[in-house]
Amino acid sequence: MGSIGSLYRSSVGKKSIMAASGLLLSLFLLTHLLGNSVSFLGRDAFNAYAEKLHSLGGLVYVFEIGLLTLFLIHIITGIILYVENLQARPARYSVNTAEGGRSWGSRTMPYTGVIIIVFIIVHLLNFHFTDKSVPVADLVRGLLSRPPLALFYIVSLLAVALHLSHGAWSLFQSIGFNHDKYNGVLLKGALAFSILVGTVFILIPVLALVSRSFLL
Amino acid sequence: MSDIHLTLKIWRQEGPDAPGRLQTYASGPISTDMSFLEMLDVLNERLTGEGEEPVAFDHDCREGICGMCGAVVNGHPHGPEKETTLCQLHMRHFKDGDTLVIEPFRARAFRIEKDLVVDRSGLDKMITAGGFVSVNTGGAPDANAIPIPQKNAEEAMDAAACIGCGACVAACPNASAMLFVAAKVSHLSLLPQGHPERARRALDMVREMDELGFGNCSNERECEAACPKGISIRNIARLNREFLKAAILSDED
Amino acid sequence: MILDSKVPGGPLAEKWDRHRFACKLINPANKRKFDIIVVGAGLAGASASASLAELGYNVKTFCLQDSPRRGHSIAAQGGINAAKNYQNDGDSIFRLFYDTIKGGDFRAREANVYRLAQVSNNIIDQCVAQGVPFAREYGGQLANRSFGGAQVSRTFYARGQTGQQLLLGAYSALMRQVKKGKVEMLSRREMLDVVVIDGQARGIVTRNMLSGAIETHAAHAVVLATGGYGNVYFLSTNAMGSNVTAAWRAYKRGACFANPCFVQIHPTCIPVHGTYQSKLTLMSESLRNDGRVLVPKNPGDRRPPAEIPENERDYYLENKYPSFGNLVPRDVASRNAKEQCDQGKGVGSTGLAVYLDFSEAINRDGSGVITQKYGNLFHMYEKITAANPMHEPMMIFPAVHYTMGGLWVDYNLMSTIPGLFVLGEANFSDHGANRLGASALMQGLADGYFVIPYTIGNYLATISSSPQDASHQAFKQVADEAAAKIGKLLDIKGKKTVDEIHRELGLLMWDSCGMARNEAGLQQALAKIPAIREEFWQNVAIPGSGLELNQSLERAGRVADFLEFAELMVIDALSRKESCGCHFREESQTEENEAKRDDENYAHVSVWEYNGDNNSPEFHKEPLTFENVQPSQRSYK
Ligand SMILES: Cc1cc2nc3c(=O)[nH]c(=O)nc-3n(C[C@H](O)[C@H](O)[C@H](O)COP(=O)(O)OP(=O)(O)OC[C@H]3O[C@@H](n4cnc5c(N)ncnc54)[C@H](O)[C@@H]3O)c2cc1C
Ligand code: HEM
Ligand code: SF4
Ligand code: FES
């Protein structure tokens, strides 16, 4: 049996898979974030950037398949873990009090995860399975200037940020990295990363809503 | 010294398969110098006098070292004080008029035997799976033959201080036993004597943990916060490391 | 009965070697035909179980707790002695032997104690190999400290949790054998009786503490490692479950009991603070290195310690024992504390405490140094009492701590019932009339790792290896008796709780058979114990049934045995009209009120044989001879 298979049969192995896929997804988010930031440079730059991406052709395709696989691995493993964890305590406590270890991020991982799934579907429908002839800038502006959708994006992206506020630290712990010297940096780094991701992404729907000149 | 009066809501359950419920008792006057278990003793003496069955709870050393005691008080395993076992918790930390909800440690892997008494044999089973150094009596080399850096010995001791109480499992939102397993794997992997078997040990102990029906670790850090001996989740990271190294790189399966 | 200690001949240093050679061996293929029962999984029981299983025997191990990792040994704090001489400070096997036998006030067997000192070094090697994280120096070598007044540094320790780490080591070895299928571990089982067939121990009867089922277990030999009986006093530093039941049942089946009145009272415990109190907590002896023991000069002085002026403070140990001062041995310190309280000079709300003051040391060395040395202990003290010894003196009082007496065993650790072996605190063997600090852990592990594996073979080689089973009529009979006793207890349905009666017994024993004993007090106790016992059997209240987890019933069974055993303790104390070690007979003191030993009449082990419930026990003497050390009178002036 291959080592991935045996990894998958163990709790620690599954967590390492969550961590690895989470890390790669985070890296993807980072590139996505950098790409999206081009929008702040204006309509033309953004459109050009999108053109450039599309022109990569087959490479994009490979990348998309990879990303999808990553998501599926992360999601399926996450669901398995969640269900197993529920089963591990069939009778609940009458009084639930946190000991002080949990954070908002950590306690909501599965829920923010579900929000992200819904978000991704909507997001793909909005931007992927759509009329590719419309320039990206128009697409973004057209969609995100509609308050309900913009709000949905903002809430979802807050969920992403919350997910990462725990996840970006947790993944290191899962693969075995925890060192007194670097723990402070890691914890703060994870928080900073989640705030950065949240802020930059959310800026787009916010600007689309309130700015008269954004992407015009 | 002063007396307080409390309302106690205690989980009563006759046996593993019987239904349980929270039963309310007035504590009567409780001296603030009492330990938590002495408070339960006082209640039990009264119940016995009234011909009722006393509340069953596990305990032995009453010094915070044997790991036998433990219950969840208002949602906190071993009560609200940090790094304190239930037997070392004193009533001066509660106020007159407080209501205390006292429940057993809950996890699928910890069957309730009666009232607050649970079956923690799973912890033994995980040690049986690999929490030892395979050395027979006799034939050990001189104790000073292998020098061990003080720092490693101290870190090993930090991990070895685990009293096997199971509060980490009780506190974990997923009823995971990772902190317990991590403490043992760390203790032995930090010492040269534990090295020959470190891959085997990590794999076997984790496998046993999974088979016993404990949950997975989500790095919620509740175990560390609840642990009466302050065992750090650094040990969990070390376990993850040991396990992944063993699973991916070693020949063991 | 003739007590044969079976001490081998030859020079002291060669006895154990010669004996090992003389012991019959069992060939490896035959070992697996023998079943051995080990009752107890403390240091002695766990180490014995693991070692015997490694040799190939089939072992069944029993303990009261839910896990073998919780035996009372886990609570030992200070450390474990060994004659490694790593510090190059003049230690040797002979010196450890000498200190131990002198510490026991010359009431132990030379040969046993010498063997203990010999194997002490192997214990440390073994424990390190198991991964016991002993304290180390920067260079990676093992650290030692001096303990209990020893003049050499020979105590190995793992922070303040030495017993825990040693036990976890033995426990891990035990669990390894469970994995190999060589040990069957039966937790939450209470041994209620031994089964003796044709004069040989052949098994035990237990109660499953969860289901209440009475079970029988057969074997070729039975090893008891059930710990000490300090809880006869109700309050002690022992764990709540520590009991005399196993030893007492064995006694009633023919195993002789030795020196039951030898009980060690530790001077530095946290005082009793209320009637609800369930146990006493030990504060390490090391505190006396820097703390000064004192009481107010005037009886009845109730002022807080800070308000007592220097000239109204009585540093009684320093005044009375100028050369040892606060560092006198445990028994002397304990007795003097009691004396002060008896004179009305005790402090605290109960008047049963003395102060241990660190202010001088804090002024001298600075609070940093003191915190570094004792911070952990101060913290523990504060947790329990809510007072910080950095700011106000600690209050301490002596408490029952260890029982030197136990079932009589020969050099092979076999009791007077062939096939019944007794290890650890449950036997009487190595500590004489007083145990030195850090030597009980050593003895438990010596017995389990390095003695019983040899000596049990010597016995097994003499009996048939044909399979034992519990179908013999004797098993049913003993099981029925055990069940009948439980039935009888449950039928009483009286008014008093088990603890109430236990507390009453404890108080009586503490007052009359505690730190100091005299004829009149002991006689009174002898008259009162049967009355308390009577009250128990008429009026104890045990709710619930026998066929479930029933903690009142468990306690009742143990207290029933304490109530019988207490009488034997008092009889033993009465018969020993000398003071020795921890046993202080007020009639036998020097002009300066110090203990006076009487080697002419009492250089023996007092051994008691059961003689029926209505007869007094039969007295036997095992004379003690000293060929290698010269008994001397202890002096601490
Ligand atoms: C607070 C404290 C501190 C101490 N510190 C030190 C120290 O620093 N150094 C030192 O050398 N010594 C110390 N001692 C003494 C030492 O710890 C004990 O003497 C020693 O550990 C006894 O070990 P044992 O294996 O004989 O018995 P225990 O550890 O008491 O084990 C008894 C075992 O028998 C089982 N058992 C008992 N009765 C039954 C029954 N009826 N049926 C089935 N099972 C039964 C129990 O479950 C347990 O497993 C200390 C003692 C105390 C109380
Ligand atoms: C933007 C995409 C996503 C990123 C960057 C991401 C990132 C991460 C990271 C880094 C972790 C921490 C892994 C660890 O603890 O070792 C994590 C955990 C988790 N993720 Fe995601 N995730 C994403 C999407 C999702 C989705 C769609 C789900 C839906 C099920 C999900 C569910 C979870 C769950 C349940 C956990 C916690 C697992 C556990 O600790 O038990 N995530 N994620
Ligand atoms: S890790 Fe802490 S909480 Fe868990 S069993 Fe050990 S001592 Fe108890
Ligand atoms: S009773 Fe031993 S740890 Fe609480």
> C289 in a domain, yes or no?
yes
φ and ψ at residue C69, rounded to 5 degrees: -75, -5
User: Both C102 and C143 in a single domain?
Assistant: yes
- Residue C248 makes CB contacts below 8 A (sequence gap 6+) with C561, C564, C565
Shared domain check, C423 and C293: no
Q: Are residues C102 and C167 in the same domain?
A: yes
Residue B252 has pLDDT above 90, yes or no: no
Residue where one domain finishes, among candidates C362, C386, C401: C401
Beta pairing partners, B114: B117
**pLDDT tens digits for B22-60?**
999 999 999 999 999 999 999 999 999 999 999 999 999
In this structure, are C373 and C412 located in the same domain?
Answer: no
pLDDT band at B251 (very low <50, low <70, confident <90, very high): confident
**C222 shares its domain with C368:** no
User: Is residue B91 located within the same domain as residue B41?
Assistant: yes
Residues 6 or more apart whose CB falls under 8 angstroms from that of C212 comprise C545, C546, C547, C548, C549, C550
pLDDT tens-digit series, residues B157-214: 999 999 999 999 999 999 999 999 999 999 999 999 999 999 999 999 999 999 999 9
Q: Are residues B48 and B100 in the same domain?
A: yes
* CATH number for the domain harbouring residue B171: 1.10.1060.10
State the pLDDT confidence band at A3, using cuts at 50, 70 and 90.
low
Residues A86-114: tens digit of each pLDDT: 999 999 999 999 999 999 999 999 999 99
pLDDT tens track for C135-185: 999 999 999 988 876 789 999 999 989 999 999 999 999 999 999 999 999
Positions of C annotated as catalytic residues are: 330
8-state DSSP, A176: T
Same domain flag for C376 and C274: yes
Enclosing domain of residue C260: 32-265+402-460
Which tokens sit at B213? Answer: 């029906």
Structural domain includes residue C73: yes
Stretch C537-561: mean pLDDT: 97
Backbone dihedral region of C62: left (phi > 0), alpha (psi from -120 to 50 degrees) or beta?
beta
Angle (CA) C590 C594 C597, round 5°:
70
Q: Do residues C424 and C43 lie in contact, with contact meaning Cβ atoms separated by under 8 Å?
A: yes
In a domain, B228, yes or no: yes
| Listed residue (C170, C108, C183, C233) closest to C566, CA to CA | C233
Give the CATH number of the domain where residue B105 resides.
3.10.20.30
DSSP letters, C341-379, are HHTT---STTS--EEEE-HHHHHHH-HHHHHHHHHHHHH
**Phi, psi dihedrals of residue C432, rounded to the nearest 5°:** 55, -130
Task: State whether B157 and C449 contact (CB < 8 Å).
Answer: no
Nearest CA in chain B to A171: B219
Q: What's the confidence (pLDDT) of residue B1?
A: 54
Q: What confidence tens digit (pLDDT) does each residue in A15-55 have?
A: 999 999 999 999 999 999 999 999 999 999 999 999 999 89
The bound ligand whose nearest atom lies closest to the alpha carbon of B225 is 3
Statement to judge: residues B66 and B165 lie in one domain: no
Average pLDDT value for residue range C381-388: 92
Range of the domain at B84: 3-111
Rounded distance, CA C301 to CA C345, Å?
7
Residue closest by Cα to atom 35 of ligand 1: C40
C307 and C395 part of one domain? yes
Residue C185 pairs in a beta bridge with: C61
Mean pLDDT of C77-83: 94
Going from N- to C-terminal start, the domains of chain A cover 3-91+103-210
Q: Are residues C361 and C234 in the same domain?
A: no
Residues C253 and C349 in one domain: no
| Contacting B residues, span 7-26, partner chain A, CB-CB under 8 Å | 9, 11, 22
Which one of the ligands is nearest to B228 CA? 3
Q: Report the side by side order of strands in the sheet with C263-269.
A: C263-269, C394-403, C354-357, C292-296, C313-314
Cβ of B67 below 6 Å from ligand 4: yes
Cβ density class A120-149: b for 16+ within 10 Å, e for less? beeeeebeeeeeeeebbbebbbebbbeeeb
Q: Which residues pair with C294 in a beta bridge?
A: C355
Same domain for B104 and B188, yes or no, is no
- For residue B142, being part of any structural domain is answered with no
Does B9 share its domain with B37? Answer: yes
Q: Which of C375, C401, C427 is the last residue of a domain?
A: C401
Give, in order, the Cα–Cα distances in Å from B250 to each of A117, B203, B244.
36, 10, 9
Q: Are residues B20 and B85 in the same domain?
A: yes
Q: Which of A54-58, B28-32, C344-348, C611-615 has the lowest mean pLDDT?
A: A54-58
Most confident of the following: C135-149, C267-281, C554-568: C554-568
Instruction: Tell me if residue C192 falls in helix, strand or coil.
Output: strand
Q: What is the largest CA-CA distance in chain B?
A: 64
Do the Cβ atoms of B62 and C140 come within 8 Å?
no
In a domain, B140, yes or no: no
Q: Which residues pair with B4 in a beta bridge?
A: B30
pLDDT of residue C375: 85
Domain match, B126 and B216 both: yes
Antiparallel, parallel or unpaired: β B72-73 and B3-13: unpaired
Pairing of strands C221-224, C35-39: parallel
Residues C180 and C240 both lie in one domain: yes
Out of A89, A97, A172, the one facing B108 most closely (by C-beta) is A89
Q: With bands split at pLDDT 50, 70 and 90, how would you rate the model's confidence at C484?
A: very high
In this prediction the ipTM stands at 0.98
> Mean per-residue pLDDT for A189-214?
95
Which tens digits make up the pLDDT trace of B114-132? 999 999 999 999 999 999 9
User: H or E element: which one contains C49?
Assistant: helix C43-55
Q: What is the CATH classification number for the domain harbouring C335?
A: 3.90.700.10
Whether residue C523 lies inside any domain: the answer is no
CB-side exposure of C521: number of CA atoms within 13 Å?
17
- Chains with 3+ CB–CB pairs under 8 A to C are B
Task: Give the architecture-level CATH label for domain A3-91+103-210.
Answer: Up-down Bundle (1.20)
User: For position C332, what pLDDT does the model report?
Assistant: 87
Residue to probe by mutation, ligand 4, list B63, B73, B81, B227, most atoms within 8 Å of CB: B63
Determine whether the interchain pair C384/B90 forms a contact, defined as Cβ–Cβ distance below 8 Å.
Answer: yes
Query: pLDDT-based confidence at A1, cuts 50/70/90?
Result: very low
Do both B99 and B15 map to the same domain? yes
pLDDT for res C20: 96
Do B25 and B7 share a structural domain?
Answer: yes
Angstrom distances, CA of residue C185 to CA of A72, B185, C33, C179: 46, 23, 18, 10
**Chain C interface, mutation test: which of B65, B112, B187, most C Cβ atoms within 10 Å?**
B65
For chain C, how many structural domains are there in total?
A: 2
What's the pLDDT score for residue C634?
Answer: 76
